[in-house]
Amino acid sequence: MPNYQAKLKFKREIADGTMAFHFEKPEGLTFEAGQFAGCTLINPAETDAKGNTRTFSFASAPYENDLILATRIGGTAFKRMLKAMEPGMEIKLNAPHGSFTLHKGISAPAVFLTGGIGVTPVRSIVLQAIHDKLPQRILVFYSNRKPEDTAFLEDLMVSRDEAPDYTFVGTMTDMETSGREWQGETGFINKAMLLKYIADLTLPVYYLVGPPAMVAAMHKMLVEAGVGDGNIRMEEFSGY
């Protein structure tokens, strides 16, 4: 895959403990919504045993001007150095990679089951589909502890007037600790929640993306509901 360098424009907090990094899009870089890049820090002041390269899904849709990467900010050397980047600094990108992209046939709905920072490729896919006015039913089930923890929540809460074939279902599992109001679903994503919005669970193509334990639980739930493995696509997001 080609290598590029991308210059940081600005960074911002998009949820508690989660930051988005907006880079200038390198000339010649093209990608499909849902793909990812190998990202390498250039001469960081600190490193660790895992080295200076990690993989990030593009949170930005291909039509957007900025190249957006997002991550939970943790205690690793890589994340400390990423958080410390200032505008004008650059990273290396090896991209694009991955096949976690929207299926081509529009007869089968696309259903995304995601949680936490696993939402990054979902944002890319959904915003691109809405931009392209795809005549395909898309549903996003997005689980977090509380609204304060929920990255890109406003971006995904697109109105039915703007995107009549798109449905967003946010759900919070720990509203007791939240200081904000929430009018959406509560509790973990389960079969009963899916059936509120999907008449026949065996028809859609499902995209499972998030922490490994969540992906495994969603896969088990779908298989027990009669969904064939050919209709299930998975991508795990591990911490680093």
The pLDDT tens digits of the residues spanning 156-190 come to 999 888 999 999 999 999 999 999 999 999 999 99
Assess whether pLDDT exceeds 90 at residue 106.
Answer: no
- The answer to whether the predicted template modeling score (pTM) of the entire model surpasses 0.75 is yes
Q: What is the residue whose two structure tokens read 């689980």?
A: 143
Closest CA to 34 of 135, 131, 109, 103: 103
Residues 16-62: pLDDT tens digits?
A: 999 999 999 999 999 999 999 999 999 999 998 889 999 999 999 99
What Cα–Cα distance (Å) separates residue 192 from each residue in 126, 184, 185, 188, 209?
24, 15, 12, 10, 20
